[in-house]
Amino acid sequence: MFIDPHAHMISRTTDDYEAMAKAGVVAVIEPAFWIGQARTNAGSYADYLSHILGFERFRAGQFGVRHYCCIGLNSKEANNEPLAEAVMEILPGFATKEGVVAIGEIGYDEQTALEDKYFRLQLDLARDLDLPVMIHTPHRDKKRGASRSMDVIIEHKVDPSRVVIDHVNEETIQEVRDRGFWAAFSIYPHSKMTAERMVALVKTFGPERLIVDSACDWGVSDPLSVPKTAKLMAEHGLSEDAIRKVTYANALAVYGQSGQMAEADWLAPAAIDQRTLYQGNTVLRGGQVPRVDQSES
């Protein structure tokens, strides 16, 4: 069993869901993010958030994958102040809905003053709502951006044991671990972190508080990164216990602190019933026979 704790499934296909379920992915976490172009008003943000909390959750369930969300204003769009102000107004209403396991992904992109302002406001929101936090670390100037994120989190009195720093690499892992945060690694087929490098990191640092994710989205990325990395870890002699921690148990431990995600969600699952509709819509197309599985419990 695997959890992919960073997957933008709204951008993926039903084939991806089928392949993930077949490979053993039982649950995914969908963080609110940048959709590839700038949103121009809070209304489109509201529709996006209700989409990932509503239809996407339904769609995942139709393929036997449990779906959870992180709710937040991403750092790029924090730079549009009128938009950011309006989004901050609606975030609490979404963050308290069923299946929300964290505020995220939030943090810095270009490390501007506005990014800093909305990052801090959202840390306060997470603390007030008692939710974990998922941090996006910048791709440029990563080391400084990651250190600064951790400084600000501690300044805002959010407990590091409730915070996942994502997109970590060899340059940032030591500090993230030393300061008591969880370190997540987005395994991409071509860039950032590769499965081979991840194996080496688990060998060096051990599996405690390390988390593997795919960060699959609308770009070149692989929704099977988590099971593929687990396979490579086994081939390189890492223990079953270590592999289970970094591809399943650690994500559950940190995001389970939300009270919204528990093993029972997939161990005693609701049966798959593709006859079900969402606002009158089915995931099936003409002539397909709906899959109807019996519940295991």
| Between 212 and 272, CB nearer to Zn ion | 212
From the list 212, 208, 200, the residue with the least C-alpha distance to 238 is: 200
| Between 87 and 215, CB nearer to Zn ion | 215
- DSSP states of 212-243 as a string? EE--B-SSS--TTHHHHHHHHHHHTT--HHHH
d(CA 224, CA 11): 15
The DSSP bridge partners found for residue 69 are 30, 100
The stretch near Zn ion (CB under 5 A) out of 18-26, 171-179, 214-222, 240-248 is 214-222
| Between 33 and 45, CB nearer to Zn ion | 33
Helix residue spans in 80-185 (DSSP H): 81-95, 113-129, 142-155, 173-178
Q: Is 169 helix (H, G, I), strand (E, B) or coil?
A: coil
Residue 163 per-residue DSSP state: E
Q: Is 84 helix (H, G, I), strand (E, B) or coil?
A: helix
Pick one of 3, 17, 25, 33: the residue that binds Zn ion (CB under 5 A): 33
Return phi, psi of residue 105, to 5°: -80, 130
Least distance from Zn ion to the Cβ atom of residue 64, Å: 23
Least distance from Zn ion to the Cβ atom of residue 150, Å: 19
Least distance from Zn ion to the Cβ atom of residue 62, Å: 23
CB-CB contact of 10 with 33 (8 Å): no
Least distance from Zn ion to the Cβ atom of residue 32, Å: 9
CB closest to Zn ion, residue no: 33
The stretch near Zn ion (CB under 5 A) out of 25-33, 118-126, 250-258, 276-284 is 25-33
| Between 64 and 107, CB nearer to Zn ion | 107
What character string, x for contact with Zn ion (CB under 5 A) and - otherwise, covers 42-81?
----------------------------------------
Least distance from Zn ion to the Cβ atom of residue 215, Å: 5
Does position 248 bind Zn ion by CB under 5 A? no
| Between 39 and 238, CB nearer to Zn ion | 39
Angle of helix 42-53 relative to helix 81-95, nearest 10 degrees, comes to 30
Least distance from Zn ion to the Cβ atom of residue 102, Å: 12
Q: What is the dihedral of CA 202, 208, 213, 215, to 10 degrees?
A: -100
Total residues binding Zn ion (CB under 5 A) = 2
The stretch near Zn ion (CB under 5 A) out of 46-54, 69-77, 106-114, 210-218 is 210-218
Binding site for Zn ion (CB under 5 A): 33, 215
